[in-house]
Amino acid sequence: MDLSTLPVVGSLLHAGADLLTALTVGLSPVAGGTAAALAVVLLTLGVRTALVPLAVLQVRAERDRRRLAPRVAALRRRYGSDSRRLQEAVQRLYTSERVSPLAGCLPVLAQAPVLSLVYSLFTHASIAGTANTLLDATLVGIPLGHSLLVVLTSPLWTHGWVVLVLLAVLALTVELTRRSAARWSPDEAASGTPGTGAAAAVARWVPFVSVVFAAVVPLAATVYIVTSAVWTLGERAALRRLVR
């Protein structure tokens, strides 16, 4: 079943298409052929600006977890491999201190519908029965509806460097964000607690899932992901200095 045929989803897609089309038309006189891609960038910046209050909560939760880290480490040593009792103890600690372990996920969760919208806008040939003109938009000759795989297996493969550059920027940004978080948050792996080494190894590579994802989605969604990642790096650095 195509979810875009549902009234509510169809209306959202139509509204999103109208917004991106209007931004593209407005930017065309100054941005030319990159107007549609720049419209996606502006949409991303608008969404991230609206989500700044959630980012503040995220940084405050990060700060609280940092404050509670010695007590969590003590609980890990106390309960050892008894993961059930450890989880219950940590939950009681967070509850008593009014710290939400989910606060760090809020900006990501809030962006999911918007990213899904961008993805859908550049994967549907028609929206509400009307031809989707957004699929005609390009960035340096690559249709914004093409993924890296499509580009590399088509006559446009010589333009694949555009997507590769975006992915390289994303990978670098993800690594810088990870290192910044590692400096800001305590390194639990250093505590010698059973299981923390494996958890640290997983945490080391999980952020790069976004790079793999960005390689298989339409170029418009890749632009969104890269822009959002760069915003996150700068926003986190600023808020860690400003939020008290």
Beta bridge partners of 90: none
**What does the alpha-carbon distance between residue 17 and residue 23 come to, in Å, rounded to a whole number?**
10
* % of the chain exceeding 90 in pLDDT: 48
Question: How many CB atoms within 10 Å of residue 219?
Answer: 27
Single-letter amino acid code for the residue at 151: V
- Parse the chain into domains and list their residue ranges: 3-242
50: part of which helix (H) or strand (E)?
helix 35-50
**What does the alpha-carbon distance between residue 223 and residue 5 come to, in Å, rounded to a whole number?**
26
Q: What is the pLDDT of residue 39?
A: 96
How many CA atoms lie within 13 Å of 235's alpha carbon, on the beta-carbon side?
20
How many CA atoms lie within 13 Å of 41's alpha carbon, on the beta-carbon side?
13
Distance in Å from the first CA to the final CA of the chain: 48
Residue pair 120/20 in contact by the 8 Å Cβ criterion:
no
Q: What is the pLDDT of residues 78-116, one digit of tens each?
A: 887 788 888 888 888 888 888 877 777 888 888 999 999
pTM of the model: 0.86
Q: Under DSSP, is residue 172 helix (H, G, I), strand (E, B) or coil? A: helix
Q: What is the mean pLDDT of the chain?
A: 86
Q: Say if residue 2's pLDDT is above 60.
A: no
Q: What is the pLDDT of residue 108?
A: 85
